[in-house]
Structure 1
Amino acid sequence: MSSYYQYFVQLADPCAVNWVQYTDAITGAELLGGCAAIFDTTTNSTVLQGVNCVDLNLIVGPKQLQTCGNNAYNQFVELIRSQAEICGEESVVSDCALKKLRADVGSSATKAARL
């Protein structure tokens, strides 16, 4: 499965934080987590190593954030929603990068790409 995601990694912003708002299954508390991809920085190619996430609730709960003045919480939620809607464009991945990805997956991917 990881080889499948290597294509999409090429489209990723390596500095982006993806936010997820969800409800804790046990307590029912509203949670807000930020996740960022971890890339191998020792090579020139973009290689996904893993993902790291942390709940904002470790610092401050969403209910407390909602009490901030100037509508800050709602502006933050709108910002993360708008960022989540942005997708990379396929044209960003060069032909050379695609050839390398196919070679890394194996000969079956290279043959399928020619069809």
Structure 2
Amino acid sequence: MIPSRPNNIAELPVTPTRDADAEREAVEASAKADRQRQEQEAREEADQRRQEQQAREAAELERAEQRQEEESEEESQSAYYANCSAARAAGAAPLYRGDPGYRKGLDRDDDGDACE
């Protein structure tokens, strides 16, 4: 007796072949590797942006400190007292070497303390 054949393709049993399974697994593995690569690239880009932002903030902080230092130097150089009475009247006496307004002409004994 000859086995009967199915009348149409829909009646054929569906059994995936090893090649089809291997191909599907390879596609899934490739997709997974692509996702992991993209995630890694995104993390690296985020890290780079964060480092660049930190560098910009550090540079801005350095510029602000430099401006503040320059302003304090300008302030220290702008004080002048004609004599110790003027320094006392301004509330600046005694003046020490390095203080705004200190000068040797106000320091009689040249010990670094003027208008003492």
For the criterion TM > 0.5, the same-fold answer is no
**Bigger Rg over Cα:** 2
Q: Give the structure with the higher percent helix.
A: 2
Q: Give the structure with the higher percent strand.
A: 1
TM-score by length of 1: 0.24
Q: Which has the higher contact order (CA 8 A, sep 6+)?
A: 1
